[in-house]
Each structure stands twice: as C-alpha cells, then as structure tokens.
C-alpha cells in the first residue's frame, strides 16, 4: 500500500479573470504594402485583417505579459501572492533558457510559484489552460496564471507576400482557480506531426549560428494546406469538444476560435452550424494573428465591450504549428 498522502485539490476549475495587452502602435495594411506586391483589398479578402499591433522596443514579451497579467489578477479578485503557478505559451521568447515565465512571475509579485514556458504555437493557450485545470484539481496550486504572448513581428519576413500581413503582437492572460461546479470542459487536443512542415521557422537557431545569413529566421507557412486543415479538421475537433462537454451548438453563447484568418473563422461557424445568436470573436480584423495570445485577447475584448458576459458558455479552440490543436468549453469569468 502506498504511503503517499493524496493531494487535496478542488472538485473543478474555472477561469476567474482575464486581461489583455495590445501594443500602442497600430499597423494598417498600407504599411505592409511598402514591402510586398499586393493590395489592401487582396489582404482583406484573403485574411479579413485590416490592422495589427506591432510592439516597440520597450514592449517586450515580459512587459506585455506583466500588463495583461495584472489586469487578469485584478479581474479575478485575488492577490499576486496567491498564484501557485505561472504558465507562459510563446514562440517568440528568444532565450532557450531561462523560461520567461520566471521573470514574469517575479515582476507580477507572485512570490515563488512554479513557472515554466510551453511551445505549442497557436494552440498554446488551450494547452496551458488544460495544465492549469489539472494542477488545481490535483492540488498542486490553488490559482494558476496562464499567459499567451507573442512578438511575431520579430519573426515575420516583411518581404514574404504569403505571411507578411498575417502576424501581430500582444499578450492575453487568465487566472484559473477552484470551482464547485464544472466550468472548464474536457480538452480535445492532439497533433499531426506529418504536417509539421506546413508552418515552420525558416531556419533553426543552430543553422543560423553556423551560417549567419543576412536574413533573420522567420515564420513561413503553406497557406492553402493550413487553410484546408483548419477548416475541415478543426471543425471536427471543435465538435468533439462540444460532445465531450455535453454541449450542443444551440447551448453555446460564445465561440472564440484562434484568430488566424477571418475566412477560417467564418467557415468553422458554418460547418459547426452555430446559431445566429452565438457571439463569434473576430478580433483578427484589428489585431491580426497573435498565435498563443489570440484567444485570451479575443476573450478579453468580448467581455470588455459587452459582446459577452460573465457566466456565458464559450467554445474555445486553438490550432497551429506542429500541427497542434486544443479545444474546450469554458464558462467565461
């Protein structure tokens, strides 16, 4: 018989607070057109993006995360000292070690929490949310800060006609805490490694170190392949998440997909046959694709503008490089 005492966690977990930060610089399509042969009409028709935010030198991954986290902690009604773990999803923190989560935890005043980064691209927020839920139910932490943050402008090839217009910068954060009732549903997640070449960095860091090319490594993707995968496969994953939570499309209040592309979002809404009364996040139009930050940023905006309200039932789904994905049903804070 084991002598290990079982952990005393909460019955369930819930999102208690949300916060977001968008850089002050707004970049319209006209700026993108200075370096690629395209048009505003083409960019809007292909992606739905009109503007995006690009960070200044001072708006670092850590600085944006701290701003978003402060709002989320205040919204949750807890103190920073109560946070038992900090999870940061990002692909644009350029130090292999230490994890940026440790710096953020210190700067938000969280004391000595567990702190680590995860790299799951645009699905990273969903991965972090699932890890946080497990920690709280298992008893490793009472409150967990989950952050999605990117400075993708640093990884964008401004001369690549296929991707130069897509990416933006920003940070979104949520506080996950204990709940007496289910408020974060089962997560449907996974990966399709045979398609890992469809979204990738153009060069590995060791190759860059060895060859020192003129161009810094950037993100590239096979747009059509990614579009088809997202539209046809991710709608299935979203439906699986609804089924796992015992929720029908008619029971949803809000749909918050990864803000990759307006056409993908609209196609998923159609495939899932969501009722017209379901609020759909379309933050991509003015924020661009912010990868791991896109879902919490979109969530924060919907709540701030009154398009969604506390207690609403929301389906969230992220998908991206890997190719990886994660979808779950949550109750909004």
| Distance between first and last Cα of the chain | 41
From CA 64, how far away is CA 153, in angstroms rounded?
A: 14
Buried b (16+ CB within 10 A) or exposed e, 174-187: bbbbbbeebbbbbb
Active site residue 258: yes
Q: What are phi and psi of 192, to 5 degrees?
A: -130, 80
Q: Which of 29, 93, 261, 289 is catalytic?
A: 289
Sign of CA dihedral 134, 137, 140, 142: positive
Q: Which of 29, 53, 258, 261 is catalytic?
A: 258
Active site residue 122: yes
Active site residue 209: no
Q: Do residues 166 and 39 touch, judged by C-beta distance below 8 A? A: no
What does the block give as tokens for 103?
A: 């710096």
> How many CA atoms are closer than 13 Å to the CA of 258, on its beta-carbon side?
34
Q: Which of 29, 93, 122, 261 is catalytic?
A: 122
Burial status of residue 123 (CB atoms within 10 A of its CB: 0-12, 13-18, 19 or more): buried
Q: Do residues 108 and 127 touch, judged by C-beta distance below 8 A? A: no
From CA 58, how far away is CA 123, in angstroms rounded?
A: 26
From CA 282, how far away is CA 49, in angstroms rounded?
A: 10
Q: Do residues 86 and 140 touch, judged by C-beta distance below 8 A? A: no
From CA 72, how far away is CA 78, in angstroms rounded?
A: 9
- How many residues belong to the chain? 333
Q: Do residues 188 and 327 touch, judged by C-beta distance below 8 A? A: yes
- Catalytic residue numbers read 122, 258, 289
């Amino acid at each position: 018989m084991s002598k290990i005492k079982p952990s005393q966690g909460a019955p369930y977990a819930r999102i208690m607070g949300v916060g977001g930060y968008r850089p002050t610089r707004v970049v319209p399509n006209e700026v993108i057109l200075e370096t690629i042969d395209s048009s505003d009409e083409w960019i809007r028709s292909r992606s739905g993006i009109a503007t995006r935010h690009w960070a200044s030198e001072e708006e670092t991954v850590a600085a944006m995360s701290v701003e978003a986290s402060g709002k989320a902690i205040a919204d949750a009604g807890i103190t920073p000292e109560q946070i038992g773990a900090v999870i940061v999803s990002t692909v644009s923190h350029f130090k292999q070690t230490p994890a940026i989560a440790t710096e953020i935890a210190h700067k938000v005043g969280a004391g000595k929490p567990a702190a680590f980064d995860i790299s799951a691209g645009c699905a990273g927020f969903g991965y972090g949310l699932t890890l946080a839920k497990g920690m709280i139910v298992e008893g490793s932490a009472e409150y967990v800060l989950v952050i999605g943050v990117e400075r993708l402008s640093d990884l964008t090839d401004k001369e690549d006609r296929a991707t130069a217009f897509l990416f933006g910068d920003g940070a979104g954060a949520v506080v996950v805490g204990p709940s007496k009732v289910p408020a974060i549903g089962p997560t449907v997640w996974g990966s399709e490694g045979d398609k890992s070449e469809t979204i990738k960095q153009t060069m590995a860091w060791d190759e860059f170190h060895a060859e020192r090319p003129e161009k810094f490594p950037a993100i590239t993707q096979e747009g059509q392949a990614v579009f088809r995968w997202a539209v046809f496969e991710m709608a299935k994953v979203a439906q699986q998440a609804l089924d796992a939570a015992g929720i029908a499309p008619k029971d949803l209040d809000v749909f918050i997909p990864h803000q990759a592309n307006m056409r993908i979002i609209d196609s998923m809404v159609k495939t899932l046959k969501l009722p017209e009364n379901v609020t759909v996040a379309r933050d991509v139009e003015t924020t661009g694709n912010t990868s791991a930050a896109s879902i919490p940023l979109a969530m924060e905006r919907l709540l701030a503008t009154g398009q969604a309200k506390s207690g609403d039932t929301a389906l969230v789904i992220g998908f991206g490089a890997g190719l990886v994905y994660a979808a779950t049903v949550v109750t909004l804070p």
